[in-house]
Amino acid sequence: MNSLAQALIITGLILLLLSLKPAFSISQLPTEQQQGWRILLGLIFAFITGYFGYLYMLSDHPVTQLEMVVALVFCGGGGFVYIITRMSEKTIHVLVSQANRHLHQAHHDPLTRLPNRIVFYKKLSQISQDNQIFCCLILDLNDFKKINDTHGHNCGDKVLKSVAERIRSCLPEHAVAARLGGDELGILLFGSFASHGQVFVEQLHGLISQPINYQQHIIHIGVSIGIAEYPHHGSHRKQLLNHADIAMYQAKRNKKPYCLYEANFSTANKNTSN
Tell me the catalytic residues: 183
- Give the span between the Cα atoms of 63 and 107, in whole angstroms: 63
Contacts of range 49-55, beta carbons closer than 8 Å, 24 or more positions apart: 51/9, 51/12, 51/13, 51/16, 51/78, 52/13, 54/9, 55/6, 55/9, 55/10, 55/13
| Cα-based angle 9, 11, 15 (whole degrees, multiple of 5) | 115
Judged by DSSP in three states, 256 sits in coil
At residue 91, what are phi and psi to the nearest 5 degrees?
-65, -45
